[in-house]
Amino acid sequence: MNTATLRELTSPLPRITLASRMLLPSVKQTEQGLVAAALLLIAVLPVVELLLRTFLKTGIPGSTGYVQNLTLWIGFLGAIVAARAKQHLTFIPTLDFLPEKWRRRAGVFAAAVTAAVAFALAWASIQFVHSEFQAPNRIAGWLPAWAIEAVLPVSFASIAVRFILQAGGRKARAIASLGLPAAVVIGFILTPYAEQLIWPGLVVLGVAGLLGAPIFAVLAGVPLLLFFAKDVPIASIPVETYRLVVSPTIPTIPLFALTGFILTESGASRRLIRLFRALFGWMPGGLPIVATILCAFFTTFTGASGVTILALGGLLLPVLLQSQYREGFSVGLLTATGSIGILFPPSLPVILYAVVAHVPILDLFKAGIAPGILMVAAVCVFGIWEGSGSTVSRRPFDKREAAAALWESKWEILLPVITLAALFGGFCTLLEAAAITAVYALVIETVIYRDLHPTRDLPRVLVACATAMGGIFIILGSAMGLTNYVVDAQIPTLAAAWVQAHIHSRLVFLLALNLFLFVVGCLMDIYSAIVVQAPLLLPISQAFGIDPLQLGIIFLANLELGYLTPPVGLNLFLASYRFEKPVFRIFRDTLPFLLVLLLVVLLITYVPALTVGVAGAVGGK
């Protein structure tokens, strides 16, 4: 052993590092075990509650409260895991265009800003928990609310530490850790200069966002600065976060997402590909129809999170290429259809929009039926046109193969039937419908098909789902702080007055609305856009007599296009990763599908009967 190695082992820092490395596996396992158990529990509790109520006329006291508050733990423990796995969403997913040296420096700067914001959020959460500690609020009559809410400061503090530790080497970590004292100095020493710090602070946040800081840090940093300048307690940010995450319908988001993750991690995609090929493979464009329907099916459960592309892209691309479909067409099709099912139940964005906009969730689902079908049909027609070429091979229809494929996938074919019956049947709540769907998927994939081993595979699926939810929920909570400031500042009212003074035509306003939402989709992810922009647009659209249901579908359909547009088009980057092609090439291949879907969005915008009319007809009005 040489002198340098001996000095490294005996110095204080390596001893701490060695100890931390010994603790890391247990910390990791504890985090993953807690978040997996919480996710499994919120799936099982509503089902048990429904069974007890139906057959024994009893129930579990406070079960809904448990589920709602466990969702908070899932979201923010998942955010900790996402920080460790470097899976928080960013505005610019990659900085490969920068030289290596500058890329490292950009990462250190982004880590320092993120650590500062997360540390400030931890302090704000401590203030929130302290105020709740002095209040007698209890969940189910016995569990102190502050004990559940304590996950907020723990999560934000852990995230701050992890971004510092992941900044690079010892020097990089030391520089990134300067974000913590910077937050203290700004929050406690520079208070008299709060208003003067707004614009410099916004510039720093904007640059950090462009250099790779996660979306939540930018969205949370803006209201932190604004509240600080207006002498408003920053604890209002975690208050709004808690209020949103524990609302009655939000737990349906991780439950439906869990269904999607179970399906994508099992053999469901293989069985469904076989079925749809047997049913549609003989048609011109049969395989593109298969890919579109299958991707739409998976996207309804995964919430256009990109899981569809990662799960199905590798399976479907070789099938399309073997049938002589052009590579550019095939890649563009699979990229575009990675978000095409978000208007169908039980879509997560639809649920979130309904919660934020205060419209009935089931009515919004009904309003999205016809537009969703139109978007799927438009892509299918494009696929038929491509498949009508003489070079594309087709397979003859085989009754025996179709019957065998249908029998093999019968349990998965029943899944949307069970989901729709639970959603619209009226015998259970929306939360119970989501739980039934998740438990059904869990049972068929672990017990009937046995694609997922209960102890070897299921924990991994639960953790993966919770990690994705953590990345989403921390963005939602951060965006709620900005929304709260926007509402308090009466910006929606002022914006509505300005629009009414300058735009007098309803048709012109709808065109401007589409342009605005298209730009929003280019710059923001769908979840933060819903929370930030929906409260702003609702009063403006009402001034022009636009039905809230129609606005919701216009909003979501436009943001669906945002998955296909740079610089924040998530599908483009995931497809680039999955198909190993440059992002620009992916965008070029996707552009024809984007134009087709854009025409459908314009049709949805100017023909309200497709949304409001269908919702009324389905609802029996």
Is 264 found in the same domain as 241? no
Is 466 found in the same domain as 366? yes
Q: Under a CB-based contact definition with an 8 Å cutoff, are residues 375 and 343 in contact?
A: yes
Euclidean distance between CA atoms 541 and 547, whole angstroms: 8
Over residues 160-199, the pLDDT tens digits come to: 999 999 998 999 999 999 999 999 999 999 999 999 999 9
Is 355 found in the same domain as 209? no
| Cβ within 8 Å of residue 590, ≥6 positions away | 331, 332, 335, 336, 564, 571, 572, 575
Pick the last residue of a domain from 245, 278, 307: 245
Euclidean distance between CA atoms 15 and 9, whole angstroms: 7
CB contact burial 88-121 (16+ within 10 A = b; e otherwise): bbbbbbebeeeeeeeebbbbbbbbbbbbbbbbbb
Higher pLDDT, 158 or 244: 158
**DSSP structural state of residue 154:** H
Q: What is the pLDDT of residue 341?
A: 86
Is 513 found in the same domain as 371? yes
Pick the last residue of a domain from 245, 267, 284: 245
Q: What is the pLDDT of residue 14?
A: 39
Euclidean distance between CA atoms 38 and 47, whole angstroms: 15
Kindly state whether residue 510 falls inside one of the protein's structural domains: yes
Read off the pTM: 0.85
Kindly state whether residue 1 falls inside one of the protein's structural domains: no
Q: What is the pLDDT of residue 10?
A: 34
| Cβ within 8 Å of residue 521, ≥6 positions away | 529, 558, 559, 560, 561, 562, 563, 565
pLDDT at 417 over 80: yes
Three-state DSSP class for 391? coil
User: Average pLDDT of 287-294?
Assistant: 90
Three-state DSSP class for 30? helix
User: Average pLDDT of 371-388?
Assistant: 92
Over residues 576-602, the pLDDT tens digits come to: 867 878 878 889 999 999 999 999 999
Q: What is the pLDDT of residue 344?
A: 92
Name the least confident of 134-143, 303-312, 359-368, 423-432.
303-312
User: Average pLDDT of 337-348?
Assistant: 88
Pick the last residue of a domain from 218, 245, 272: 245
pLDDT range class, residue 574, cuts 50, 70, 90:
confident
Euclidean distance between CA atoms 184 and 115, whole angstroms: 12
Euclidean distance between CA atoms 345 and 341, whole angstroms: 9
Euclidean distance between CA atoms 390 and 403, whole angstroms: 29
Is 320 found in the same domain as 454? yes
User: Average pLDDT of 451-470?
Assistant: 92
Q: How many structural domains are present in the chain?
A: 2
Euclidean distance between CA atoms 39 and 436, whole angstroms: 14
Kindly state whether residue 275 falls inside one of the protein's structural domains: yes
Number of H helices and E strands in the chain, helices first, is 30, 2
Is 362 found in the same domain as 400? yes
Over residues 8-64, the pLDDT tens digits come to: 333 333 344 444 455 556 788 888 999 999 999 999 999 999 999 999 889 888 888
Q: What is the pLDDT of residue 390?
A: 55
Beta bridge partners of 90: 214
Q: What is the pLDDT of residue 614?
A: 65
pLDDT at 242 over 90: yes
Kindly state whether residue 513 falls inside one of the protein's structural domains: yes
Is 362 found in the same domain as 239? no
pLDDT at 206 over 90: yes
Percent of the chain exceeding pLDDT 70 equals: 92
User: Average pLDDT of 138-153?
Assistant: 92
Percent of the chain exceeding pLDDT 90 equals: 50
Calculate the CA dihedral of residues 378, 349, 439, 250 and round it to 10 degrees.
-170
Strands (E), 430-484: none
Q: Alpha carbon 163 to chain centroid distance? A: 21
Which parts of 524-582 fold into alpha helices (H)? Answer: 526-543, 548-562, 570-579
User: Average pLDDT of 338-358?
Assistant: 90
Over residues 477-520, the pLDDT tens digits come to: 888 888 888 877 777 778 878 887 888 889 999 999 998 888 88
Kindly state whether residue 4 falls inside one of the protein's structural domains: no
Query: Per the structure block, which two tokens stand in for 509?
Result: 């306003």
Euclidean distance between CA atoms 372 and 76, whole angstroms: 32
Is 238 found in the same domain as 292? no
User: Average pLDDT of 401-428?
Assistant: 91
Is 265 found in the same domain as 240? no
Q: What is the pLDDT of residue 267?
A: 87
Query: Per the structure block, which two tokens stand in for 104?
Result: 């490292």
Higher pLDDT, 457 or 616: 457
Over residues 210-225, the pLDDT tens digits come to: 998 998 999 899 999 9
Kindly state whether residue 274 falls inside one of the protein's structural domains: yes
pLDDT at 131 over 70: yes
Is 111 found in the same domain as 159? yes
Is 161 found in the same domain as 282? no
Query: Which domain does 70 fall in, by range?
Result: 27-245
Q: Under a CB-based contact definition with an 8 Å cutoff, are residues 53 and 46 in contact?
A: no
Q: Select from 424, 448, 423, 449 the least CA-distant residue to 435.
A: 423
Kindly state whether residue 604 falls inside one of the protein's structural domains: yes
Cα angle, residue 374 at apex, residues 324 and 325 outer, rounded to 5°: 5
**Amino acid at residue number 178:** L
Euclidean distance between CA atoms 484 and 476, whole angstroms: 12
Is 440 found in the same domain as 495? yes
Kindly state whether residue 22 falls inside one of the protein's structural domains: no
